[in-house]
């Protein structure tokens, strides 16, 4: 099956010229799906694909030395879930030192609360993950990837920032789904045959030929 990719404006309230990626199923754009997979883990996919778009796939490096002696770079979304679970376990096992851990981060936007860790654990250990709610996983991903994650809400017209880092990615949520916010240059330069893009769409019912090669066509 052949797909094309275009970008349409979704965030006129924002101060930067970013757009939401949309995959078109037809040449006339009469049928579209979001460029981030909606499988309940869209917030994770948005961060991973956003990192690849902004900084390049070869620069992905999960800094797990903060929480573990065993450093394993993920190759799929399940590996990332395991890393998040390890982060939760680390905080839970050292909850008496949580205040010191937060202080050492020197960034209030990344401070963790015990209740949100327990809430994330409940979601990660669920038989089926429909979505990841809360902020804890964004804080963890910002730390692990050494980036700042900016999340724009179309409901409240607010941008929530996790991590004070000059290396930032931008995503957007309508309360139910997370989308990647990107610009024309990033899309033109992105390799749509790269590993994480193909991994995102692996096994998806729309990906009938299992090649995940999308030709970008940019419009407004």
Residue ranges covered by each domain of the chain: 3-216
Give the CA count within 13 Å in the CB-facing half-sphere of 196.
Answer: 25
Q: Are strands 32-34 and 19-24 parallel, antiparallel or unpaired?
A: antiparallel
pLDDT score, position 22: 74
Give the CA count within 13 Å in the CB-facing half-sphere of 17.
Answer: 5
Instruction: Mention every residue, 6+ apart, whose C-beta is less than 8 A from residue 21.
Output: 5, 7, 34, 35, 36, 179, 180, 182, 187
3-class DSSP assignment, residue 32: strand
Ranges of residues in the chain whose predicted pLDDT is under 50: 1-3, 6-15, 212-213, 215-220
Q: How does pLDDT run across 175-202, given as a tens digit for each residue?
A: 999 999 888 788 888 888 889 988 988 8
pLDDT score, position 19: 79
Q: How does pLDDT run across 95-129, given as a tens digit for each residue?
A: 888 999 899 888 999 999 999 999 999 999 987 77
pLDDT score, position 164: 92
Q: CATH class for domain 3-216?
A: alpha beta
pLDDT score, position 128: 76
Helix (H) or strand (E) run with residue 172 in it = strand 168-173
pLDDT score, position 106: 87
3-class DSSP assignment, residue 21: strand
């Amino acid at each position: 099956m052949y797909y094309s990719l275009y970008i349409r404006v979704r965030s006129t309230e924002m101060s930067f010229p970013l757009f939401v990626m949309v995959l078109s199923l037809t040449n006339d754009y009469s049928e579209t799906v979001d460029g981030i997979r909606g499988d309940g883990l869209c917030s994770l996919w948005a961060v991973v694909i956003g990192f690849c778009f902004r900084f390049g796939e070869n620069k992905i490096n999960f800094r797990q030395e903060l929480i573990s002696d065993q450093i394993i770079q993920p190759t799929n979304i399940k590996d990332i879930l395991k890393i998040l679970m390890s982060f939760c376990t680390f905080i839970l096992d050292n909850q008496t030192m949580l205040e010191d851990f937060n202080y050492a981060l020197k960034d209030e936007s990344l401070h963790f609360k015990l209740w949100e860790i327990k809430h994330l654990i409940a979601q990660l250990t669920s038989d089926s993950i429909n979505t990841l709610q809360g902020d804890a996983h964004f804080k963890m991903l910002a730390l692990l990837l050494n980036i700042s994650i900016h999340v724009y809400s179309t409901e409240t017209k607010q941008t929530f920032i996790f991590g004070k880092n000059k290396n930032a990615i931008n995503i957007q949520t309508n309360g139910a789904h997370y989308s990647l916010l990107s610009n024309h240059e990033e899309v033109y330069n992105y390799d749509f045959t790269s590993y994480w893009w193909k991994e995102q769409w692996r096994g998806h019912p729309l990906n009938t030929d299992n090649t995940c090669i999308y030709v970008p066509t940019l419009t407004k």
